[in-house]
Every structure is written in C-alpha cells, then in structure tokens.
C-alpha cells in the first residue's frame, strides 16, 4: 500500500472526482484506523465508481477486502459517510473472527461463499441448476447491473420445472409457475445481498429491482383433509410408506425435513426431537407428547444413530422422487382430490394447530417458518376463532 493512501481523504467530493483509475483496477485507499481502510475505485466509463472495505485478518496474516457497491441511492457527503460506516462495521466483523473473508469476484463466487456460511440443499440446487452454468455466473460483482438480472430472470421463468425423475425412465417437467420462480430467486437475492448495497431506484444500478418477487403468486393453501380423510389416506397407502406418511400427519415438518431425521435426532428419555436441518437453516427442538414419542421410538428401534428414522426397504431415506408415487396411489384409492400431496398433510397439521388455539409464534417456532408466513397463510383461521369468541360474549 502506498504512503499516499494513508493520508488520502476520500470524503472530499471534489478531490475524489479528480482521481484516476489505477492499474489493475486497484482502489484508492483511505486509512480509517489501524487495520481498517475504505477504498474507492473510479469508473472508467464515467459512472459513480465503486467503494470497498479493507481489513486486516489476523487469522490469515493478511489484508482482505469486500466490495461495497456504488451507493447509487445516496448523494453528496452521504456517500462517504455510509461507505465509512460499512467499512468499519465489516472490519469489526473480520477482526472478531465473524467473517470468513475470501476472494469473491463473480456471481458464482458470491453463491459459493454464501453456501459456505449457510449450507442448504435448496440453495445449492438453485445455484447448480440456474446460476453456475448460466451467463450470470460469470458476471463480476462490481459490474453487476439490473439488466443482467432481468435477463437471468427471463431465462429462469422460461425454464421448465422438474416434476419427477425416475431412474431409467422419463423425466417429467411442467411450466414454471410464478410462485416457483419467486422461491428460486430467494437464494440468489440473499447471496448478492451479503455483498452489495441496493442501487438507486429506477436505475440500472438497482440490481435488487430485478429480483423482486411477483405479487400475488404465493397463494394461500386451500386444500384441507379432515381427520377422517387423513385416516382413509393412511389406510390406503402401501405398507412401506405408511410410517413416513403417518409422520407427516403427526408433525408440522416439511416432507424433506421429516425424511432427513436420523435416530440421533430423537431422545426417547426426554421425548425431545431436534431438527438440525430445515429450509430456514436454524436448528430447533420440539418436545413431543407421549403417543408421538412412542411412534418415533418404534421407528428408531434397532437402528444406528446415523440411520434415518423413516426408511425404505433396504435402509435408504425417503425423498421427493420416492414418496410421490405411494402418496399419489393412496390418494386415488381413498378417492381424495388429485391435488393432495405430501405438503397438503403439513398444511393440515398447521391448520389444526392454529384452530386449536396454539399461539401463532409457537406454531411458527415448531414448524420452522416465520410468524409472517403463518399469519399470511393461516391468519384467517385466527380471525374466525376470534369471531366465535366474540359471539360467545353476547348477553
């Protein structure tokens, strides 16, 4: 680092405007404190330029840096003030060991860095199918603009959605719905949001605008099976899949989460079930009633701690390609609506919990979703219960 960097004052708008791009696109740095710098790279095309943070990582014995964006939504002295604040905040994280800094240059790099911090099969699948081999993956983070992501979104929305893949058989697909596209955009939006600040609205720098979810796409689930219909489904399902389907009827878990449970996740002495992997990435623990605990104890009998609680013939775990067939067949035998799926059963469990009067916060916690989502999809049930309670106050 040059000596001039340590005395440079990037807060002066006029002086900053006179800076020339450096060889190798190296930013101009201003020292904020020992081991902490804020940097500015002038645009070669007359744009606003890009800001950077630089901090000393004692664990790696070297400086690391992070792009902060161009702060397109800000003007005047507010630009430097925000860049300084962001650089100091990031340096604090690096110095405390809270950031595993690494070289992130492209969108692909950003996605892989995101997975290291927040591993998850859903995000990994989206990146593998729609980012790594797509032109968007090669775009540099500091060059990323709204038009890049708009074109990517068009490709995503036109790509068929996988229905099922049978070994040795035909791969079945369907047109991608807006709700599916909304869900597929979430991991990329999260990965980019860790590195970039929102650009100025209604400009090409506003990368975030291209990833806004389509409104009205995520509709409330309406299909509900009462207890008698669920019993009919259990009676019709084949013996191999019966324990797994019964588990869907007893626990407010996503099908993939239920399939991923291992024997070591369940403590029969305390009746505690630990869910370590789920869509939200946060582990949680549920204390089970004795009847459900007895059911899991039976499923776990004579299995090793790392074995799935719910197994197929041969000891393998269930997945979306293996549970769809048995459930579909049982739905037909029980004369239930053709749209019934594994997720329908989770919806039924959540509906019963809400209508039973369990607080929305508790339902959200044990089901691994947000209060906002529970209120969005099940809030009308709380309203119905409140109306009935008010009716009971009539004198």
The one-digit pLDDT tens for each residue of the chain (395 residues) are 443 454 688 999 988 989 998 887 889 999 999 889 999 999 887 788 999 999 988 888 888 989 998 888 888 889 999 999 999 999 988 887 765 445 678 999 999 988 887 887 788 989 999 999 999 999 998 889 999 999 999 999 998 877 655 555 566 677 888 888 888 999 999 999 888 878 788 888 889 999 998 876 555 556 889 999 999 999 999 999 999 999 999 999 999 999 999 999 999 999 999 987 655 556 788 999 999 999 999 999 999 999 999 999 988 899 888 999 999 999 999 999 988 999 999 999 998 888 888 888 888 888 888 777 777 777 666 666 555 555 555 54
d(CA 375, CA 391): 22
Tokens found for residue 177 = 């719905």
pLDDT, position 145: 93
pLDDT, position 73: 82
Q: Which residues of 153-170 are buried (b: 16+ CB within 10 A; e: fewer)?
A: beebbebeeeeeeeeeee
Residue 60: which region, alpha, beta or left (left: phi > 0; alpha: psi -120 to 50)?
A: alpha
Tokens found for residue 356 = 């039973």
Yes or no: say if 22 and 28 are a contact pair by the CB < 8 Å rule. Answer: yes
Tokens found for residue 56 = 């000393």
Yes or no: say if 11 and 77 are a contact pair by the CB < 8 Å rule. Answer: yes
Domain match, 177 and 151 both:
yes
What is the pTM (predicted TM-score) of this model?
A: 0.53
Domain match, 89 and 112 both:
no
Place of tokens 């499923």: 299
- Secondary structure of residue 61 in the 3-state scheme: coil
Which of 177, 211, 245 lies at the terminal end of a domain, its last residue? 211
d(CA 182, CA 278): 19
Place of tokens 């009998």: 301
Tokens found for residue 311 = 């197994």
DSSP category for residue 20: -
Q: Judge whether 220 lies within some domain.
A: no
| Cα–Cα distances in angstroms (integers) from residue 250 to residues 84, 99, 350, 358, in the given order | 52, 40, 10, 15
Q: Judge whether 134 lies within some domain.
A: yes
Q: What is the CATH number of the domain that holds 325?
A: 1.10.443.10
Which of 183, 211, 239 lies at the terminal end of a domain, its last residue? 211
User: Backbone phi, then psi, for 273, in 5-degree steps?
Assistant: -110, 120
Domain match, 207 and 352 both:
no
Domain match, 253 and 355 both:
yes
CA 155 to chain centre: 21
Domain match, 386 and 244 both:
yes
Domain match, 266 and 188 both:
no
d(CA 366, CA 368): 6
Yes or no: say if 39 and 53 are a contact pair by the CB < 8 Å rule. Answer: yes
Q: Judge whether 102 lies within some domain.
A: no
DSSP string over 94-136 = HHTT--------BHHHHHHHHHHHS--HHHHHHHHHHTTTSGG
Tokens found for residue 77 = 């002295």
Q: What is the CATH number of the domain that holds 49?
A: 3.30.160
User: Backbone phi, then psi, for 78, in 5-degree steps?
Assistant: -65, -30
pLDDT, position 371: 75
Task: Give the residue numbers spanning the domain of 44.
Answer: 3-95
Domain match, 179 and 80 both:
no
CA atoms within 13 A on the CB side of 79: 23
Domain match, 302 and 384 both:
yes
| Structural domains counted in the chain | 3
Q: Strand 266-267 and strand 272-275: pairing?
A: antiparallel
Q: Judge whether 320 lies within some domain.
A: yes
């Amino acid at each position: 680092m040059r000596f001039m960097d340590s005395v440079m004052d990037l807060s002066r708008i006029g002086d900053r405007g006179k800076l020339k791009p450096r060889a190798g696109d190296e930013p101009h740095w201003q020292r904020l404190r020992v081991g902490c710098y804020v940097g500015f790279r002038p645009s070669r095309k007359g744009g606003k330029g890009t800001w950077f943070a630089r901090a000393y990582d004692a664990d790696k014995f070297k400086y690391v840096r992070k792009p902060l964006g161009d702060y397109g939504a800000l003007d005047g002295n507010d630009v430097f003030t925000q860049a300084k604040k962001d650089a100091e905040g990031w340096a604090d994280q690096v110095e405390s060991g809270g950031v595993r800094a690494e070289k992130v240059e492209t969108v692909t790099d950003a996605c892989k860095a995101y997975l290291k911090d927040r591993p998850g099969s859903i995000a990994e699948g989206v990146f593998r199918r729609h980012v790594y081999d797509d032109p968007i993956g090669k775009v540099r983070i500091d060059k990323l603009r709204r038009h890049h992501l708009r074109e990517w979104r068009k490709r995503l929305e036109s790509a068929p959605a996988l229905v099922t893949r049978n070994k040795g058989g035909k791969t079945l697909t369907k047109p991608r719905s807006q709700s599916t596209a909304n869900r597929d955009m979430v991991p990329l939006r999260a990965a980019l949001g860790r590195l970039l600040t929102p650009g100025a609205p209604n400009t090409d720098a506003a990368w975030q605008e291209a990833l806004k979810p389509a409104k009205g796409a995520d509709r409330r689930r309406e299909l509900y099976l009462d207890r008698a219909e669920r019993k009919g489904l259990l009676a019709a399902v084949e013996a191999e899949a019966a324990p797994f389907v019964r588990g869907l009827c007893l626990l407010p878990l996503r099908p993939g989460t239920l399939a991923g449970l291992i024997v070591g996740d369940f403590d029969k002495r305390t009746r505690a079930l630990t869910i370590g992997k789920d869509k939200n990435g946060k582990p949680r623990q549920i204390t089970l009633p004795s009847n459900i605990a007895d059911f899991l104890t039976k499923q776990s009998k004579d299995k090793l701690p790392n074995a799935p609680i719910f197994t197929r013939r041969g000891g393998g775990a269930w997945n979306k390609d293996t549970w769809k067939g048995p459930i579909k067949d049982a739905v037909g035998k029980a004369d239930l609506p053709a749209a019934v799926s594994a997720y329908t059963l989770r919806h039924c469990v959540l509906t019963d919990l809400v209508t039973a009067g369990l607080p929305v916060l508790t339902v959200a916690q044990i089901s691994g979703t947000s209060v906002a989502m529970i209120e969005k999809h099940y809030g009308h049930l709380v309203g119905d219960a409140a109306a009935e309670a008010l009716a009971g106050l009539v004198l």
